[in-house]
Amino acid sequence: MTQLASISSTLLYVAFVLYLIATLFFGGSIKSKKHTNQTGKNRWATIAITITIIGFISQLGYFITRWIAAGHAPVSNLFEFITFFGMMLVAGFIIIYFIYRAHVLGVFALPIALLVIAYSSMFPRDISPLIPALQSDWLAIHVSTVAAGEAILAISFVAGLIYLLKDVDLTKKGKQTFWLEAVLFFIVIVAGFIVSTTAAQIAGYQSEFTYVNAEGQEQVEQFGLPALVVPHQGELMTEGNFASSIEMPAIVNAARLNTVIWSLISGTLIYLLIRLITRKSVSALLQPLVRRVNLNLMDEVGYRSVMIGFPVFTLGGLVFAMIWAQIAWTRFWGWDPKEVWALITWLFYAAFLHLRLSRGWEGNRSAWLAVIGFAIIMFNLVAVNLIIAGLHSYA
């Protein structure tokens, strides 16, 4: 099992490197002067998609070998779920690419996948036995369909972001300019999370607290970063480590909230450094990449992605989830934070399709809806998982 786990980790690392290389080649396809548009045959793009497919096969190999090593579908914790989400995002991109041959999608979709995979690596990667609530075939059915649905919906975000970068006039200060930059700022925040946690791991930092949870039980919590907030009735057990006096309520996971705070701090510093060095907004830095983009094509890609991703998410996030909830907890619905945000996500994309089909919200409006939808997905993935305690906290 140890050898298979090592092979699995190597395959994931290889996939990460290949996706990074493919991104550079997709960038080259955009800069190529042999074509005047972003579709059609292009040597750089051919190399890029070939490398992407090899990377996907490598990541699929990671998934299979980890499944064999664990003895169950590797989607039972945050590391496994997020890496599977990243794999499905790449799979969705590959399918969309062969339908539309839009090279520019690779320049944005693959970096998002890279951030997702890098984000997953910050969580514990150990293979451990499943707790009783997860010992069900519905684990693979529910979680995999949720991840697949969200990954396809993420493609609509990529298309929407490209659309807005081309459509929004950055020379004019306004709401759209502000919010577009805000979206990119929060993407940099994710990079800040990766930087801060990686730095702490390299430094070997770790502190330990005993605290009282929401049920009044005493537990132990480990912090991977200096504690800017502490657990409810928490007591520092490791001498010589910094710990603030800001105590969190029992419902809040202080260690994960602490990580979010550090991510905001480091991400903001990275963003300010980019602005200081380049003297440009991140939007302005990316805009040259989308100069030859066909807006109608990006609008169609975004819409089609939602049309495919929404029913898949409906099955995984609501139907299969309620069946499993009945089996595991003897009720279909319980207002757990994850359940609530799954419902919010579903309602939003239902409203997206209603506004698109009934009210004619196309183009710019549709692109903004795709961006907001992905923000809801990421809030559920990051904030709800990291901060709010609930029945899904075992993940």
pLDDT tens digits for 36-68? 444 456 788 899 999 999 999 999 999 999 988
pTM score of the predicted model: 0.85
DSSP string, 29-47: HHH-TT-SSSSS--HHHHH
- Order of strands, edge to edge, in the sheet holding 207-212? 218-223, 207-212, 235-236
Give the per-residue pLDDT at 32. Answer: 61
Give the per-residue pLDDT at 192. Answer: 86
Greater confidence (203 vs 185) lies with 185
Distance, in Å, from the CA atom of 32 to the CA atom of 153, rounded to the nearest integer, reads 29
Distance, in Å, from the CA atom of 347 to the CA atom of 149, rounded to the nearest integer, reads 14
The pLDDT tens digits for 261-320 are: 888 899 999 999 999 999 999 999 999 888 888 999 999 999 999 999 999 999 988 888
* Candidate from 25-29, 187-191, 234-238 with smallest mean pLDDT: 234-238
The pLDDT tens digits for 116-135 are: 998 887 777 777 777 666 66
The per-type count for the chain, helices as H runs and strands as E runs, is 13, 3
Q: Exposed, middle or buried by CB within 10 Å (0-12, 13-18, 19+), for 67?
A: middle
Give the per-residue pLDDT at 354. Answer: 93
Distance, in Å, from the CA atom of 160 to the CA atom of 148, rounded to the nearest integer, reads 19
Domain boundaries, the chain: 1-129, 142-170+284-395, 194-280
Structure tokens at 330: 């003897």
